[in-house]
Structure 1
Amino acid sequence: MARFEDLAVWKRSARLSAELYKALRDLKDFGFRDQITRAGLSIPSNIAEGFERESAKETTCFLNYAKGSAGELRTQLYIAMDIGYIERETAMAWIRETEEISRMLHGLMKTIRDQKK
């Protein structure tokens, strides 16, 4: 199995998390800022944690958590856009990125499960 640092999905989600932190660093709604940045940070963190686990079952469990966090982040991005915290163009680009990350995670989980068979 690859190192998590070599995975395109980890690289993309880590980059997205960093972009969120940078873009929202001046947001005064600390509760919202904390929630959305934590959701973004949870994606690459769960990928990394899963890849450090011993079993395929544990790995896919953490990849599933990462996928759930991508959905949580997507929801928060829609809300941030609607309330004017993030410009529409930026929010939609990040929403598309979370959708792609979710697809990549789904495919990775399927690959890991299929290898076990």
Structure 2
Amino acid sequence: MERKKIETFEDLRVWQKGIDLVKQIYLRTKEGELSRNFGLRDQLRRASVSIPTNIAEGFEQYSRKEYLNFLNIAKGSAGEVRSLLRVAL
């Protein structure tokens, strides 16, 4: 299988999956109990948006060290989302 060359952050599978997660979070917090729990809903949305955003921002940096730092921030946001989902349950 031939791999596509990664030229932009949009080519990164991890970024694409992050965007899919954001879509799911927004869909699931649009209605029902979570839609009325403004604090939890907004924190969940912000944390999920932070994942692909930090991946993109890191990709655009000039050094590998900075890129890795942004990936660590994205990973931290993923942990925050997991924790918030447990709270929501």
Considering the TM-score relative to the shorter chain, is it more than 0.5?
yes
Provide the rounded CA distance (Å) in 1 between the counterparts of 2:86 and 2:37.
16
Q: 1:29 deviation in Å? A: 1.1
Q: Given residue 22 of structure 1, which amino acid in structure 2 is its aligned partner?
A: L
- Structure 2 counterpart of 1:106: none
Gap runs ≥5 in structure 2: none
- Structure 1 window deviating more from structure 2 (69-78 vs 25-34): it is 25-34
Q: 4+ runs of 1 displaced by more than 3 Å?
A: none
Provide the rounded CA distance (Å) in 1 between the counterparts of 2:13 and 2:37.
32
Correspondences of 1:26-41 after superposition (within 5 Å): 26=31, 27-41=35-49
- Structure 1 counterpart of 2:64: 56
What is the total number of aligned residue pairs between the two structures?
Answer: 81
Gap runs ≥5 in structure 1: 82-117
Q: RMSD across aligned C-alpha pairs, in angstroms?
A: 1.2
Q: Percent identity?
A: 51
Provide the rounded CA distance (Å) in 2 between the counterparts of 1:79 and 1:17.
18
How high is the TM-score relative to the length of structure 1?
0.66
Q: 1:5 deviation in Å? A: 0.4
Query: Which residue of 6, 13, 20 corresponds with 1:15?
Result: 20
Q: Given residue 27 of structure 2, which amino acid in structure 1 is its aligned partner?
A: K
**Aligned partner of residue 65 in structure 1, secondary structure:** helix
